[in-house]
Amino acid sequence: AYGRKAKDYSTGMKERLELCLALVPHPRFLFLDEPQNGLDPDGIASLSETLRAYRDKGNCVVISTHLLHEIQVVTAGPCRSRI
């Protein structure tokens, strides 16, 4: 990916980049729409691990998806943040 413009990345690479950019400011609430779109099985597993770790630090992750079986591992616990 080095030396390439982001517009030329694959869908999965764009999803990874967008997640990284969303996490940089460390928001307490993270809203994601179909974050697993374009990811391979390893990418989905990595996404789930990243989002679980983010949630376990006291942040709230809100996900819009129709692939419930792939995202259930992230939503294993309640939102721990308080408004």
Is the pLDDT assigned to residue 62 strictly greater than 80? yes
Residue range 22-60, pLDDT digits in tens: 999 999 999 999 888 888 889 888 988 999 899 889 898
Is the pLDDT assigned to residue 83 strictly greater than 50? no
Alpha helices in the chain (DSSP H): 11-23, 41-56, 68-71
Locus of tokens 């989002």: 51
0.85 exceeded by pTM = no
> E strand or H helix at 37, and its extent?
none
Locus of tokens 């099985």: 41
Question: Between 53 and 70, where is the model more confident?
Answer: 53
CB 29 within 8 A of CB 63: no
Cα separation values, 16 from 28, 58, 77, 78, Å: 19, 22, 24, 25
